[in-house]
């Protein structure tokens, strides 16, 4: 099977952000996405951003245009959110984002009426119906298809860092899970989700797709749901490992981290270097550790088995990537990684709110609503740094 990889400008950025729709008073999820999309379709037709539906009718996804910088992509996202609020604010609907809703139950949610979603549920049954998960996807342009699989292999070493920074699903269906990112372990139950297979080149990826399509596992490459995947239609690498981010500055921080690492490794390939990788069993162990312990996980960072506390290693990475970030114009956004480390990731903040409220998870939802609405925009955040 031949799979064309689209032409894309190097290290450009695209962002997708999945958002929950909730009743502003109770915090319960509400199935109002179809109404919102119908109202917004015409108004957003000529915009750089898009607003679309997702698996569940309690969810909308806002997507940026192609940004030369992280700030440009995040500006698109901010404009999309403002557009969505033109519908939701007058109807008592609030927006929030985390990897999971703290107390919602799967059997109370509605599946969006599209053939692909009904087919997914029909095949995956209980696990599919339990996909009450929200995430972000970061696309980075890659100018040469021969770089794609080596870049994914190198980025796989940093999956625990992406996952821990974004971890925001410590509660599930009313229970405290003991995990920083319960979403990470739920999502991987889908047949084509989870860690990327360690493929070496584009020919191996095409052979993989040929096997999957021939045997009826998937229809095309869009059904590859790996934590990091090629996106042939866009000419990008797409990092999908992250829980939903709770604020725009945090979204920008993770996007910047992905962008600088892709560019860093792309430069190494340009210099004729072989990119560093770790064994697949280390990658798998890292994913579980980051899901369980978040920023306090000890990640295996090289083939020798060296281990580093994720929150400490991230500080070093930010320093090491300073020059690349300067050249890409995302230094201030990348500094947001340090802000998360200093002030706590979303999973840590949610647990603190729950503890202060004697375990009342409705207080956690109100906290998430407040963070999403009242937290600083990226422009405000950058103006103060």
Residue range 283-325, pLDDT digits in tens: 999 999 999 999 999 999 999 999 999 999 999 999 999 999 9
Q: What's the number of domains the chain is made of? A: 1
Structural contact between residues 290 and 167, judged by C-beta atoms closer than 8 angstroms: yes
CATH of the domain at 241: 3.30.590.20
Query: With contact defined as beta carbons under 8 Å apart, do 161 and 260 qualify?
Result: no
Find out whether 249 and 336 touch, Cβ atoms under 8 Å: yes
Produce one character per residue of 275-298: b if its CB has 16 or more CB atoms within 10 Å, e if not: bebbeeebbebbbebbbbbbbebb
Residue 381 lies in a domain: no
Q: How many CB atoms lie within 10 A of CB 373?
A: 15
Given a contact cutoff of 8 angstroms between Cβ atoms, the answer to whether 330 and 260 are in contact is yes
Backbone angles phi, psi at 330, to 5 degrees: -125, 25
pLDDT tier, 70 (very low <50, low <70, confident <90, very high otherwise): very high
pTM of the model: 0.96
Residue 119 in domain: yes
How much is the pLDDT for 216?
93
172-190 mean pLDDT? 97
Residue 299, domain member (yes or no): yes
153 vs 14: CA distance, rounded Å = 21
What does the pLDDT read at residue 381? 44
Is the pLDDT higher at 74 or at 385? 74
Our CA dihedral for 269, 275, 280, 283, rounded to 10 degrees, sits at -100
Selected residue with higher pLDDT from 42 and 160: 160
7, part of any domain: no
Is residue 271 a part of any domain in this protein? Answer: yes
Counting Cα atoms < 13 Å in the Cβ hemisphere of 64 gives 28
Instruction: Tell the residue number behind the tokens 């990470």, with chain if given.
Output: 184
- Mean pLDDT calculated for residue range 122-142: 95
Is residue 242's pLDDT more than 60?
yes
- Whether residue 15 has pLDDT greater than 60: yes
Per residue in 363-381, pLDDT tens?
999 999 999 997 644 445 4
Half-sphere exposure of 130 toward its Cβ, with a 13 Å CA cutoff?
15
> Is 382 inside any structural domain?
no
pLDDT at residue 268 is higher than 90: yes
Residue 3 in any domain: the answer is: no
Q: Which residues does residue 95 pair with via DSSP β-bridges, in sequence order?
A: 21
For residue 264, give its domain range: 13-375
Query: Is residue 138 assigned to a domain?
Result: yes
Question: Using 50, 70 and 90 to split pLDDT, how confident is the model at 382?
Answer: very low
Task: Output the pLDDT for position 375.
Answer: 62
Residue 245 contacts by C-beta under 8 Å, 6 or more apart in sequence?
Answer: 17, 97, 136, 166, 168, 251, 254, 346
């Amino acid at each position: 099977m031949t799979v064309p990889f689209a032409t894309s400008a190097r290290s450009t950025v695209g962002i997708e952000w999945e958002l929950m729709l909730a009743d502003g008073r109770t915090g319960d999820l509400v199935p109002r996405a179809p109404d919102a999309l119908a109202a917004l379709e015409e108004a957003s037709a000529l915009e750089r951003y898009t607003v679309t539906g997702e698996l569940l009718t309690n969810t909308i996804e806002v997507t940026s245009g192609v940004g030369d910088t992280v700030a440009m992509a995040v500006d698109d996202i901010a404009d999309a959110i403002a557009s969505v609020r033109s519908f939701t604010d007058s109807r008592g609907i609030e927006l929030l984002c985390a990897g999971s809703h703290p107390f919602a139950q799967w059997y109370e949610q509605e599946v969006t009426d599209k053939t692909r979603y009904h087919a997914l549920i029909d095949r995956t049954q209980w696990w599919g119906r339990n996909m009450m998960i929200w995430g972000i996807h970061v696309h980075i342009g890659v100018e040469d298809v021969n770089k794609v699989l080596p870049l994914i292999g190198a980025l796989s070493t940093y999956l625990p860092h992406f996952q821990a920074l974004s971890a925001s699903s410590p509660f599930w269906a009313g229970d405290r899970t003991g995990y920083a990112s319960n979403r990470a372990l739920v999502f991987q139950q889908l047949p084509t989700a989870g860690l990327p297979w360690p493929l070496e080149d584009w020919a191996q990826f095409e052979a993989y797709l040929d096997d999957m399509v021939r045997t009826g596992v998937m229809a095309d490459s869009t059904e590859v749901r790996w934590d990091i995947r090629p996106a042939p239609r866009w000419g990008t690498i797409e990092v999908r490992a992250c829980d939903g981010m709770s604020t725009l500055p945090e979204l920008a921080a993770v996007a910047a981290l992905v962008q600088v690492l892709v560019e860093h490794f792309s430069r190494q390939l340009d210099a004729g270097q072989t990119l560093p990788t770790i064994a697949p069993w280390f990658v798998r162990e890292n994913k579980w550790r980051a899901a369980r312990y978040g920023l306090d996980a000890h990640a295996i960072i090289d083939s020798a088995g060296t281990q580093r506390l994720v929150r400490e290693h991230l500080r070093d990475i930010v320093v090491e990537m300073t020059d690349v970030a300067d050249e890409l114009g995302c230094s201030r956004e990348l500094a947001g990684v340090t802000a998360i480390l200093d002030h706590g990731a979303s999973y840590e903040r949610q647990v603190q709110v729950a503890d202060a409220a004697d375990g009342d998870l409705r207080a956690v939802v109100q906290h998430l609503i407040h963070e999403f609405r009242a937290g600083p925009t990226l422009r405000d955040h950058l103006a103060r740094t």
